Structure formats: structure tokens, C-alpha cells
Amino acid sequence: MTLDWANVVGLIGSALFLVAFAYANASPQMDKVWFNAANLVGAALLLASLSVHFNLAAFVLEACWAVIALMGLVKALRDRKAVQP
């Protein structure tokens, strides 16, 4: 394995997933906007990595993860806007 740009980008995406997961488990009150944004960016970075080193199973997982994170982000932003005066 070479440490090319695709692998570096994929590792950064993986790190974002891990940070978001740790945050969700450690935070007494999770910020859903930050959590979903981190997951969306992580999925996008992994999808970019997969465009070079393709793996169908990982691609399907990351595409679904990105869609779910995008839906969660939209909902969290709407909820946040509804609460603001």
C-alpha cells in the first residue's frame, strides 16, 4: 500500500467518523449539527478515496452513510432554527 492522496483523504475521513462517534458517546448533550456534519464530511472524504481505490461494499456503505448524515443535518438545522427566537 502506498500513502497516496486517496489513502490520506480516506484516513482523514475515517478519523472524522471516529471523533464523531467518540463525541456522541462522551458528550452529555450532543450537538446534532456538528455530529451529522462530521459524518457527512467523513463519508465524502471516504467516497473520494474510493474513487481511486474502489471497493463496492465500502462505496455502498459510505453512500448510504452520507445520505443519512445529510438527512440528519437538514433535520438538525431545521430543529435549531425552530428553537431560535
52-77 residue pLDDT tens: 999 999 999 999 999 999 999 999 99
pLDDT of residue 48: 98
pTM: 0.93
Q: 17: Cβ–Cβ under 8 A, 6 or more apart, which residues?
A: 38, 39, 42, 43
How does residue 2 score in pLDDT terms, banded at 50, 70 and 90? confident
16-46 residue pLDDT tens: 999 999 999 999 999 999 999 999 999 999 9
